[in-house]
Amino acid sequence: MTTALPIGWVLRASTVGFTVGCRVLQPSVPQFGDLVKVPVSDGMSVFGLIYNVQVQDDPAVRQLILVGEMEPEAVLDQRENRLVPIEISVLVVGYQRDKQIFQGLPPQPPLSLDVLILGSDADIRAFTKNLDYFRLVLNSPQIPGDEVLVTHLRRAAEVQPPETQRQFLLNAGRELARLLNFDLVRLDNILRRIRPMSS
C-alpha cells in the first residue's frame, strides 16, 4: 500500500474525473476504491478514487479466442504486450496545493500523460481527516458511488492507528447519516458494510 510506483498515464481528463491507461495490472494494484493522486504542475496534486477498471479487447485477443486452444505462453504474452491499454477510471475528489488539502474539484484537470500514483498511507490519513468529499462521491451520476465509498472507507480505516479505527468509521458513518438522511435504506446498506468486525 505504500508504493509510489507509477500505475499509468492519463489518457483523458476533465475537471470531475479522468481515465488512466496502463500496460498491465499488478497483482494488488490498483484496486477499485483506492485513493490515487496525479502530481500536476506547480506542486499541485489531484486526488481521486478509482471507480472502474476496464480491460478492452484488441484484434490479437479476438484471434486467440478464435483459435480455441490457449497456450500459457500465448496468454502471458498477450497480457504483457497488449495492443490497447487497460483503462482505469478515477473520480476527482480533491487536490493538494502547498501541502494543504482541499476537498472538491481542482481548478484544472490533469493533462494527458500525467503520471498516476497510488496514495500512500500518509496521504490517505491526511486526506480522510476531513470527510467533505463524501458528497461528491454520493452525488456523482453513473458511478457506483456507494460501492466506491464502502471499499474506500474499509481500506482507509485499515491505515488509521488501531486505537482510532473504530472512531474513524464512526465519524464516517455519522457523516453518511447526515448526507443520506433522506434515503434510510441506502444509508443502512452502507453502514452495515463499513461497520467494524468487532462491533
Partner 1 sequence: MADNEFNDFDAFFPRAVTQKLGMVMSGSLSKGLEVKLDPSAPIEEMAVGRYVIIEGEQLKFFGMITDVALDNTNPQIEKTPPDVSDPFLREVYAGISTFGRIHISPMLVLDQAAEEPRPVKTIPGHFSLVRAADEDDVNMVFGAEDEQHFHIGEPLDMENVQVNLDLVRMVERSVGIFGKSGTGKSFLTRLLLAGVIKRRAAVSLIFDMHNDYGWEVQSENRTPVKGLKQLFPQQVAIFTLDEASSRRRKVRPDFTVVLDWSDIQPEDLEMLRVTLDLSDQMIGAAYSLRRAWGRGWIKQLLEADKDTIDLLVEGTTINRSSLDALSRRLERLTRFEFLRDSWKGDSAQKIIDYLDKGITVVLEFGRYGNSLEAYILVANYLTRRIHQMYVERVEQALGDAAQEPQQLMIVIEEAHKFLDPQIARQTIFGTIARELRKYNVTLLIVDQRPSGIDEEVMSQIGTRVTALLDNERDIAAVLTGVSGAGALREVLARLDTKQQALIMGHAVPMPVVIQTRSYDANFYAAMGFQDETALRAGRSTRVNLLRGEREEGID
Q: Which residues in this chain contact partner 1 in the complex, by CB under 8 A?
A: 166, 169-170, 173-174, 176-178, 181-182, 184-185, 187-188, 191-192, 195-196, 199
Q: Which residues, other chains included, contact 199 with Cβ-Cβ below 8 Å and sequence gap of 6+?
A: 166
Q: Which CB, 20 or 187, lies closer to partner 1?
A: 187
Cα–Cα separations (whole angstroms), residue 54 to 32, 51, 111, 115, 149: 11, 10, 20, 18, 19
CB of 151 to partner 1, least distance (A): 18
Q: Which CB, 99 or 192, lies closer to partner 1?
A: 192
Q: Which CB, 67 or 185, lies closer to partner 1?
A: 185
CB of 66 to partner 1, least distance (A): 52
Q: Which CB, 76 or 184, lies closer to partner 1?
A: 184
Containing 20, the helix (H) or strand (E) segment is: strand 17-22
Closest C-alpha to 105, from 115, 95, 96, 114? 95
Q: Which CB, 142 or 181, lies closer to partner 1?
A: 181
Alpha-carbon dihedral of residues 173, 178, 184, 190, nearest 10 degrees? -30
CB of 196 to partner 1, least distance (A): 6
CB of 91 to partner 1, least distance (A): 24
Alpha-carbon dihedral of residues 88, 91, 92, 93, nearest 10 degrees? -130
Closest C-alpha to 109, from 169, 156, 48, 160? 48
Extract the C-alpha cell encoding 117: 500514483
CB of 181 to partner 1, least distance (A): 5
State phi, psi for 187 to the nearest 5 degrees.
-60, -45
